[in-house]
Structure 1
Amino acid sequence: MLTDPSVTVVRATLPTVGTAIEEISRRFYERLFAAHPELLRDLFNRGNQASGAQRQALAGSIAAFATYLVDHPDDRPDVMLSRIAHKHASLGVRAAQYPVVHEHLFAAIAEVLGDAVTPDVARAWDEVYWLMANALIAIEGRLYAEQDVVEGAVWREWEVAARTEQTPDVASFLLRPADGGPAPAFKAGQYVSVQVQLADGARQIRQYSLTGAPDAATRSIAVKRVHGTNGSPDGEVSRHLHTHIRAGDRLHVSAPYGDLVLKADGAPLLLASAGIGCTPILAMLEELAAAGHPHPVTVVHGDRSPETHALRATHEALTAKLPDGTAHFWYEQGAGHHSGLADLTDVPITPGTRAYLCGPLPFMRAMREQLLAKGIAAADIHYEVFGPDLWLARS
């Protein structure tokens, strides 16, 4: 891992870099997109760039990785690296792109920190970057091999077999490979990337959880239309899918990726979601129900109302199929199981429970705090963030 001299330098400069890391991230993306506008057009999420969310996520991951190396010089944060690598693989990121990132990231560091970037500082942080980059390249290579695809060539044309309006803002799409071949296997909880060509020619990409596999030839996703808030624009891809895509249309869809995967080994399970975060949970429930899973499964979901709870009937039906499954739904408006925000205070949680969380960050933070207070080990609490992972950036 980090050499001893680099550990000393990185530890000493972490406060300075940490203070400036968001500005470094901003300058980095400005330089990168000026030199390679095709990356913003066809790879990076333009909405996350406009909101600053991607800059925050990059800053958080770099700071977290460097801090971990200093605190654990003989180890590396594999959980964080795996999460990033799965996202990269779903986008078709290639090893050849890492030197490009290095060029513009270190130019941004020099611009922001100026004379503070001595040769020793540059060497130490260069070591940090390549430790992270080479680890990601190796993991991504394994992920491509597992899907039997050439590096970066994750895309396949799929046909929309059916579209169903689940709520005014959520539509589900049943997909099948356009070439008539088999659909790739996936693990419950994983997602696919969907690439669409927009009116301005951009090929924007978004990730959507697989909600199930009705049969060997089809896969299903559910897409929530993203409405802009606080001056941010509507979601480009979700708007396109809702407005233009119908049965018979075709989409470019990636192989399945994602590290929030169900492990059903007999431990009690908690599957907690809010809003459209129910989508990976539904795939988990489908798998458990198909296997006749006999062990305790507690299902928790929070939503604005029963009418906005996408795939609510499926959520209830799959839970009911489990021999020891219980559902607790909270709605801020309208009649339901419980009123208000999701709350585990009165929900029995069996010792040794393994928890899977998906939803907005405030929801997941609240669930995690309550689970820890109930004695659930931090290592047994797993989560999925839709969009840039800001958990570390806002910790």
Structure 2
Amino acid sequence: MSIDTAPLIGILGAYGRVGAAAARFLAAEGGYRLRIGGRSADRAWRFTRTLGDRAEAAVVDARDSQSLMHFTRGCAAILDCSGTAFSLRGRVRAAVLAAGVHYVGMTDDGGSRTPTGPCSAVLFTGLSGTLAGWVPRWLADGLDSATRFSGWWGGLGAIPSHTAVSCLLAKRRAVDLPGDEHPQDRGTCDGEGPRDEVALPVPQAFASPTAPPAQAVAVRRVLPEELRQQAYLLRLEEASWHEVLKGPGVPAFLDRFALRGPAAGDGGALMAAARELAKASLRDAAGSSPYQVLYGTLEGLAADGTPVRRNALLHCTDVTGLVGVIASITVHEVTRGRVPSGVHVMAATLPPGDTADWILRHLPRATARTTEVPTGEPGTTTAPPAARRPG
């Protein structure tokens, strides 16, 4: 594909941490022209020079409709890493879709998810929920059916303020579940109740060699919106998700937010809460190297009817890079026409195996692998989706 005919992807906030990571990964993949956008012409130009001859710089202010319209012209898709989406309450997304261009937002803008027009819009709803919705699909790829899923996610690292907005919005949509009575207990799809502090044995994969020995660990059992959706689509009988929060700042903040968080329509207060969460994460991560760990288990039947258990392990030390990979492969899928029209959460659009491949290609020292063992249990069948809708 020549430079002139390659699809053009416009990136808002392209020289920020997540935007820059996504731009570098897309440039490394090839097959695209990139329009690097931001309010600083100097910063956009300096970053563009590092990406090669398929990138161009442009000044854009996402809050100015004329500026945004000019930036969008000629693009196949817009990747919005600007962090202004929520404060503008969906106006950026609406303007991009009205121009006949696909939209990928790295902040949940809090706007309507009602489909409008022929283009696709994909929203990042926080790292925990996105991984909770992707990893069951990764594990289920190629299975005849699946029955039970259990996942653990956590780590350390500073949370950017605009990413924290998506995290807090996701908390409002998640179902908090009681703590497990025993480590072997599994969470059911229809369980619901107040959150308890639990003392579960954390999988060894979550141990950090750089973390202080006395560092607090809080384990929360939740059912994110994204996992509820996949539990329904995969016809799971049981699904659970544990967040391993290294503290004390982030767990304490989330407790306060759950009890006295701002009203859903109070955008200013939510942005202030997101900044407070970002500061808490920065304090918790002080003195430790950042990392993210995901461990998941899925039980089901292989294509030949053999009962199997699949395990997944994802580990990386570049937290921003992980979000950048998720952003870049999502806009890749959208641009290639693999995402239907309408509004989607990112977890439902990530390709199961290809996402792991992108992580390994672009993140040094990352681990992303699955293993499978036969369980020796009798095969089981799952009920129709309507009989077992979770949540």
* TM-score, L = length of structure 2: 0.27
Larger relative helix fraction: 1
* TM-score, L = length of structure 1: 0.27
Quick check: which has more Rg, 1 or 2? 1
Larger relative contact order (CA 8 Å, sep ≥ 6): 2
